[in-house]
Amino acid sequence: MAIKNAKAHAAAIVAASVAGLTVIFTSILMQSVDPLLAATLRYFVASLSVLPFLIWNWSAVRRISPWDFIAISALGVLFYFLFPFLFNQSLELTTAARGSLIMSLLPIMALSIGVAFKVETLNLFKVLGCGLAILGVGLSVYDGLALGAAGADALTGDLIMIIAVTIAASFTVFSKRYFQRYGSWAVSYIAICAGFLVPLPITATVIDFGVLPALTNLELALLFLLGTLGVPIQFGLFSWSLNQLGPSRGSMYIVLMPITATILAVIALDETLRPLFVAGLVLIVGAIILVNREPKTSL
- Inform me whether the pLDDT recorded for 298 exceeds 60: no
Q: Which of 271, 295, 220, 222 is nearest to 94 (CA)?
A: 271
* pLDDT value, residue 271: 64
Rounded Cα gap, residues 131 and 153, in angstroms:
27
What's the mean pLDDT in 142-161?
Answer: 69
Mean pLDDT, the chain, rounded, equals: 82
* pLDDT value, residue 291: 76
Condensed to tens digits (0 to 9), the pLDDT of residues 35-88 reads 889 889 998 999 998 888 888 888 888 899 999 999 999 999 999 999 988 988
287 pLDDT tier (thresholds 50, 70, 90): confident
CA angle 281, 110, 19 (to 5 degrees): 50
Class of residue 233 by CB neighbours under 10 A (exposed 0-12, middle 13-18, buried 19+)? middle
* pLDDT value, residue 222: 92
What's the mean pLDDT in 265-274?
Answer: 67
* pLDDT value, residue 223: 92
* pLDDT value, residue 149: 47
Q: What's the sign of the alpha-carbon dihedral 268, 269, 272, 273?
A: negative
Condensed to tens digits (0 to 9), the pLDDT of residues 112-131 reads 888 888 877 777 888 788 78
Higher pLDDT pick, 227 / 6? 227
Q: What is the DSSP string of 11-74?
A: HHHHHHHHHHHHHHHHHHHTTTS-HHHHHHHHHHHHHHHHHHHHHHTHHHHHTS-HHHHHHHHH
Q: What is the CA radius of gyration of the chain?
A: 19
- Inform me whether the pLDDT recorded for 1 exceeds 50: no
CA–chain centroid gap for 61, Å, is: 24
CA angle 128, 170, 260 (to 5 degrees): 65
Condensed to tens digits (0 to 9), the pLDDT of residues 160-213 reads 989 999 999 999 889 989 988 998 888 988 999 999 999 999 998 988 888 888
Q: Which of 168, 30, 39, 161 is nearest to 98 (CA)?
A: 161
